[in-house]
Amino acid sequence: MSAADRKPRVFSGIQPTSDSFHLGNYLGALRQWVAMQETTDALYCVVDLHAITVEHEPKVLRERSRVSAAQLLALGLDPERCTLFIQSQVPEHPMLSWILGSETGMGEASRMTQFKDKSAKQERTTVGLFTYPMLMAADILLYQTDQVPVGEDQRQHLELTRDLAIRFNGTYGKTFTVPEPYIVKETATIKDLTDPDKKMSKSSSGPRGCLYLLDEPNAMRKKIKSAVTDSEASVRYDPENKAGVSNLLTIYSSLTGDSIEKLESAYAGKGYGDFKGDLADVVADTLGPIATATREILDDRAELDRILTMGAEKARAMAAPTLNKTYKKVGFYPPVTR
């Protein structure tokens, strides 16, 4: 197959820092991951190395990594059509990260806004959090990635990745593919159900404000029905003056494919009770099967671990040639493999 005929290679990862992904993760990224495996050579990674830049409990992290992978399979990722693996099972990631860290200036690393934001929220800031962008660059460059799906919060990190690839290639000769951002169809930002001025987040949302994919259906319905609205009782999209209702309309539209205008028309003259009740059913009917499938996958831990080991072996087969080439370029002895 010629280079022109092959599918573009795409890499993306998600941290296992919660017991469940939430609706914002699903609509903002994970649903697109499933679609991308049809048109790209896609690698998807549970990035547990990144997860230890904050305090963690080892047993909890290991279990969350497994549950994260099970959710991705339940959502529709197919190990025959993509490469799914746990980051820590592929040692080439930290090995390349060290080299890239040695190519990164203190000034450009210090300018990473995510480090500033996260370190401001933590009592203890680690060197790992500071060097997080270099590990992310290694994640991407190891696989000669063509495109990276990236949101605004990671755009600066992708720019650093591109800069490091260009710099290394200029110093040592062509080694890395310089990745481009993968532009997915615009997705709406899902807000906290109890505070629609904030983005839905596992870290900043309270238990009632975040819809988790592994919530029981009745818990999902309860969260939707108790979501913040306003006293006006008209279902219309107005983010500035009706943030809560607008957020619920966004969720409804994103899950059903109906336009917000169609939904506004359908609920004209109806109260919030009818609107929330119908949306609660839509949410439970859409997300409930994901939770059920996840639990079924987790019931056979041996098979799940087999799939993840197979994914890690496949990823290592792709990563090893890049690492070997990089080692040779910088003057290292080649890594010894069994």
| CA-wise closest residue to 69 among 111, 143, 16, 105 | 16
| CA-wise closest residue to 154 among 178, 172, 137, 176 | 137
Known catalytic residue at 314 = no
- Of the candidates 121, 191, 199, 314, the residue annotated as catalytic is 199
3-state secondary structure labels for all residues of the chain = CCCCCCCCEEEEEECCCCCCCEHHHHHHHHHHHHHHHHHCEEEEEECHHHHCCCCCCHHHHHHHHHHHHHHHHHHCCCCCCEEEEEHHHCCHHHHHHHHHHCCCCHHHHHCCHHHHHHHHHCCCCCHHHHCHHHHHHHHHHCCCCCEEECCHHHHHHHHHHHHHHHHHHHHHCCCCCCCEEECCCCCCCCECCCCCCCECCCCCCCCCCCCECCCCHHHHHHHHHCCCCCCCCCCCCECCCEHHHHHHHHHHHHHHCCCHHHHHHHCCCCCHHHHHHHHHHHHHHHHHHHHHHHHHHHCCHHHHHHHHHHHHHHHHHHHHHHHHHHHHHHCCCCCCCC
- Of the candidates 202, 314, 325, 329, the residue annotated as catalytic is 202
Known catalytic residue at 202 = yes
d(CA 71, CA 68): 5
- Of the candidates 118, 222, 325, 329, the residue annotated as catalytic is 118
Known catalytic residue at 118 = yes
Active site residues: 118, 199, 202
